[in-house]
Amino acid sequence: GAVFSVMDQKPQNDREKWNMIDSSFMTTLPDAWAINKKFIMLPVNRWDEEYERVLLGGITCDSDDYYNSEQHVNAIYLPKFDAADPLYIGFFHTGAYQESIGGYGGIQHCLTPSPKHVIIDRDENNDYFFRLFSKEQSYKSMLKTLGYL
pLDDT tens-digit profile of 11-55? 988 889 999 999 988 888 888 888 888 889 999 999 999 999 999
pLDDT at 44: 94
Q: Is the pLDDT of residue 74 over 90?
A: no
CATH classification number, 2-103, choose in 2.40.37.10, 3.20.20.70, 1.10.3720.10, 3.90.25.10: 2.40.37.10
More confident residue, 32 or 100: 32
Please give the model's pTM, rounded to 2 decimal places.
0.81
| CA angle, 48 then 52 then 58, to 5° | 105
Supply the mean pLDDT for the chain: 87
